[in-house]
Amino acid sequence: MATLSLDSVKKQFAATQVLHGIDLEVADGEMIVVVGASGCGKSTLLRIVAGLETATSGHVRIDGRDVTALEPADRDIAMVFQNYALYPHMSVFENMAYGLKIRGMKPAEIRRRVDEAAQMLEIGALLERKPRQLSGGQRQRVAMGRAVVREPKLFLFDEPLSNLDAKLRVQMRAEIRRLQKRLGVTSLFVTHDQVEAMTLGDRLVVMHQGRAAQVASPMEVWGRPADTYVASFIGSPAMNFLAATMEPGGGAAALKAGLAIGFTDGPRAGEAGMPLTLGIRPEHIQLGQGGLDLAVDLVEPLGSETVIHGTIRGGETLTVRLPIPARGIGAVLPVILPWDAFHIFDGSSGRRIEPA
């Protein structure tokens, strides 16, 4: 049980700046998910917290203690790796007991802790097996068990579910969440999967090109994305972006497609004619006359819903998710863009613009 605090952590590999200064405060028992596309620096950040990489500058504190210069062994953390990283020549029991043995724990106590963790993770019957005799899901459990028995201050997860098949991934996701809540261990979970991020995290850190684009709760990130990158990264299918310009007075925007959109939550600061990007999620677009005509070019049936890709007047693409059957969708679909569903972003910087 501990807090974690990152203080302008930067990392540079040769000439490449990988992390541009990350600040983060993690409360005791909190589950933070670091999410981003590959190459955004999320794994590097995790490895810096683990002590497997050294930060070029900045500080890492665990429970208030500065651990920036400490070896991984001295940080009292446990990590679950993407490829599980089990010791191939040791049995499941030995794998889980390894860290405890190094700490000089008595065999009886080791036995007790391993048995307890094995029971919790339902791997009690596998303790004498070698990793190669286990399935992917079982290996994942053993890797979790190895982390749990240590009772560390911090759990670090480095995309631990990426190597599992889709069904098992959903199941393990729920289990990790349950386990983390039950043990109350402060956790940092790295993933590129936005669904994992949304479902697992108390808060998300959305990383983009070595910066934390937004740090907020999942619903906040989804409902009020800080910029167009976050908006496009979270949510599936991705948010639509339409070019627009500010109307005089800042109370509305004129879409390039020729429609005026009023800002229902209040006017924005900005000069008339300033370029804007208006975002609207596919599921918020409705069917109906009086809006835009969508020239359909691809229909994806998902069963209860249908995703329709097309273009609107002016050539911009638009994706719509509608609760209607795919059959019977014609070449042109009349859609309505509800005003209150729009997110307003600065057209040049991509930052969200809140009501003035």
Partner 1 sequence: MRKKVIFKGIALPWLLLLPQLLITGVFFFWPAGQAIYGSFLREDAFGLSRQFVGLENFTEVLADPNYLAAGWTTVVFSTSVAFLALGAALYLAVQADKAIRGANAYKTMLIWPYAVAPAIAAVLWLFMFHPQIGLFGRMLNGLGVPWDYKLNGDQALLLVILASAWKQVSYNFIFFMAGLQSIPKSVLEAAAIDGARPMRRFWTIIFPLLAPTSFFLLVVNIVYAFFDTFGVIHALTGGGPGQATTTLIYKVYVDGVQNLNFGSSAAQSVILMFIVILLTAVQFRFIERKVHY
The residues that touch partner 1, with contacts defined as CB under 8 A, are: 50-52, 71-73, 77-79, 81-83, 85-89, 98-99, 102-103, 130, 132, 146, 150
The alpha carbon of residue 169 and the mean position of all alpha carbons in its chain are separated, in whole angstroms, by: 15
SS (H, E, C) 8-68: EEEEEECCEEEEEEEEEEECCCCEEEEECCCCCCHHHHHHHHHCCCCCCEEEEEECCEECC
CA distance 239 to 241: 6
Shortest Å distance, C-beta 162 to partner 1 = 13
| H or E stretch at 97 | helix 92-102
CA distances 246 to 87, 157, 317, Å, are 60, 44, 21
Sign of dihedral through CA atoms 173, 177, 180, 186?
A: positive
Nearest to 318 by CA among 304, 332, 308: 308
DSSP state of 244: E
Which residue do the tokens 């990383």 mark? 207
Which residue number, 85 or 254, has a Cβ lying nearer to partner 1?
Answer: 85
- In the bound state with partner 1, the residue whose beta carbon lies nearer, of 160 and 201, is 160
* Closer residue to partner 1, CB minimum distance, 95 or 240: 95
Nearer to partner 1, 88 or 290 (CB): 88
Q: Which is nearer to partner 1, 161 or 278 (CB)?
A: 161
Nearest distance, CB of residue 44 and partner 1, angstroms: 14
Q: What share of the chain is helix, strand, coil (3-state, %, to 5)?
A: 30, 35, 40
DSSP reduced 3-state for 257 = coil
Least distance in Å: CB of 175 to partner 1? 20
Nearer to partner 1 by Cβ, of 102 and 166: the residue is: 102
- Least distance in Å: CB of 291 to partner 1? 52
Q: Is the dihedral of CA 107, 112, 117, 122 positive or negative?
A: positive
Q: Which is nearer to partner 1, 106 or 132 (CB)?
A: 132
> Closest separation between CB of residue 352 and partner 1, Å?
38
- Nearest approach, Cβ of residue 81 and partner 1 (Å): 5
Shortest CB 12 distance to partner 1, Å: 16
Give me the least distance between CB of 16 and partner 1, in Å please. Answer: 17
- Residue 132's SS3 state is helix
Q: How far apart are CA 326 and CA 319, in angstroms?
A: 14
C-beta of 23 vs 74, nearer to partner 1 = 74
